[in-house]
Amino acid sequence: MSWTEDLRALVGFNTVSDRPCDPLAAWLATRCEDLGLTVETFPSPEAGKRNLVASLGPVGTDGLVLSGHMDVVPTEGQPWTSDPFTLTPRGDRLVGRGTADMKGFLAATLAALTRLDRRQLRRELVLMWTYDEETGCAGSAHLARDWDREARPLPCACLIGEPTDLTIARMHSGHVAVHIDVLGEAAHTSRPELGVNAIEIAGRVVEVVRTFASELRERVDPTLPLPNPWVPLVPVRIHGGTAINVVPDRCRIDLGYRPLPGMSDDAIFLELQLRLDRALGPDKARVHAHVGAVVPSLLTPGGTALERLLTPHATPGPVGVPFATDAGNLARLGMAPLVFGPGSIDVAHKADEYVEIGAIERTIDILEQVIAARCLQA
């Protein structure tokens, strides 16, 4: 099967994160078994989803991990000019949801494996395909908790095939979700003085967040080679109230921030709490903030063996990316991940997402050489 046929099949699975990914996981399991790999699955607490791990070669040897996610973001409301779940050639591009982010890398990995004498592996090759990366890296978080490091150590070298235009990234920001609940007191809107308006208090909370976000933008860390070496703090959703004639007794504000590589996940949250307490006075008792999903940042040291292997093939560019990936969770398994893959993050998540044919073909060549160097040599 050619890589274009694989990519056509991969794109054809509608794996938007609110849908099951088991059909795609089963298809990948069959492809990996056909290539001689041993397949394990790690079911999600949520029905219809699972991580898939396929391996080949001597267990416990320091070979290579290749990882990517199976899910994609929604297409509803976007101005697609072709069916997003049908791979569509357009000149030197292949259009479809997930072509860049990141089913193109999955297809390239399968193609690279077909070129190698897989019976001759001297060190272990591990493929890790995860679910729900797009909604907070839940799949890799579950995998990091489920994997028994003592019983089965993983190779240190780990490549996450997110779209970086084939530049090498050894660091990225994380992402922390924060939920702020405001409790008021309901009353008839003809007598608002008899209640406490939760939305009005929420407005003061948003102002604190806005001021804090502005200050964080000025805290630039010039030592980090990132496109934006500061912490973005962004309110993303607010909802409250029940009826037009009822003083709202509750309101929720959801926001997110992206801790820089090497920064504690909760540092910004703790500072935000202090600012809210100071600004709200007696009303602070009505405001309850808590951390939701956490995606860890990544900070892999420079000069790893995998980086040295990739460097001759890589496009020059920054060594950090501003978006979070599964790498932060997988690093907790003792690996030193690098983010490196075909396609551009600039077209990911957009209508008519695409990957260039040449980028996939180049990736296949690179993966073939890197797998050979890491796993076919003792």
Report residue 150's pLDDT band, with 50, 70 and 90 as the boundaries: confident
Sheet holding 88-90, edge to edge: 88-90, 93-95, 354-356
**Domain span at 198:** 175-295
Report residue 119's pLDDT band, with 50, 70 and 90 as the boundaries: confident
Report residue 261's pLDDT band, with 50, 70 and 90 as the boundaries: very high
Do 147 and 215 belong together in one domain? no
Cα separation, 240 vs 244, whole angstroms: 11
Do 185 and 290 belong together in one domain? yes
Number of domains in the chain: 2
188-193: average pLDDT? 96
Question: What would the pLDDT profile of 24-43 be if each residue is shown by its tens digit?
Answer: 999 999 999 999 999 999 99
Strands (E), the chain: 38-43, 50-56, 64-69, 88-90, 93-95, 125-130, 157-160, 171-172, 175-183, 233-240, 250-257, 287-295, 298-299, 320-321, 336-339, 354-356
Question: What would the pLDDT profile of 39-88 be if each residue is shown by its tens digit?
Answer: 999 999 888 999 999 999 998 899 999 999 999 999 999 999 999 999 99
What's the pLDDT at 378? 66
Among 295, 327, 354, the domain boundary falls at 295
Do 140 and 25 belong together in one domain? yes
DSSP string, 249-264: -EEEEEEEE-PPTTS-
Do 277 and 351 belong together in one domain? no
Question: What would the pLDDT profile of 191-230 be if each residue is shown by its tens digit?
Answer: 999 999 999 999 999 999 999 999 999 999 998 988 889 9
Do 333 and 317 belong together in one domain? yes
**Nearest partner of 323 among 139, 143, 162, 168, judged by Cα:** 162
Q: The tokens of 245 are what?
A: 């004639």
Do 326 and 243 belong together in one domain? no
What's the pLDDT at 151? 78
With pLDDT > 90 as the criterion, what percentage of the chain qualifies? 90
Report residue 4's pLDDT band, with 50, 70 and 90 as the boundaries: very high
Do 327 and 355 belong together in one domain? yes
Report residue 182's pLDDT band, with 50, 70 and 90 as the boundaries: very high
Do 244 and 105 belong together in one domain? no
145-166: average pLDDT? 91
Q: The tokens of 31 are what?
A: 């492809």
Do 371 and 319 belong together in one domain? yes
The CATH number for 114's domain is 3.40.630.10
Among 267, 295, 323, the domain boundary falls at 295
Do 327 and 289 belong together in one domain? no
Instruction: Please give the model's pTM, rounded to 2 decimal places.
Output: 0.90
Cα separation, 59 vs 124, whole angstroms: 6
Do 305 and 161 belong together in one domain? yes
CA 171 to chain centre: 13
| pLDDT for 1 beyond 80 | no
Report residue 148's pLDDT band, with 50, 70 and 90 as the boundaries: confident
| pLDDT for 255 beyond 80 | yes
User: Amino acid letter at 373?
Assistant: A
The residues near 30 (Cβ < 8 Å, ≥ 6 apart) are none
142-148: average pLDDT? 91
The CATH number for 267's domain is 3.30.70.360
Do 67 and 160 belong together in one domain? yes
SS3 338: strand
DSSP string, 55-87: EESSTTSS-EEEEEE--B---TTS--SS-TTS-
Among 295, 319, 354, the domain boundary falls at 295
Q: With left for phi above 0 and alpha for psi between -120 and 50, is residue 271 left, alpha or beta?
A: alpha
Catalytically active residues are 71, 133
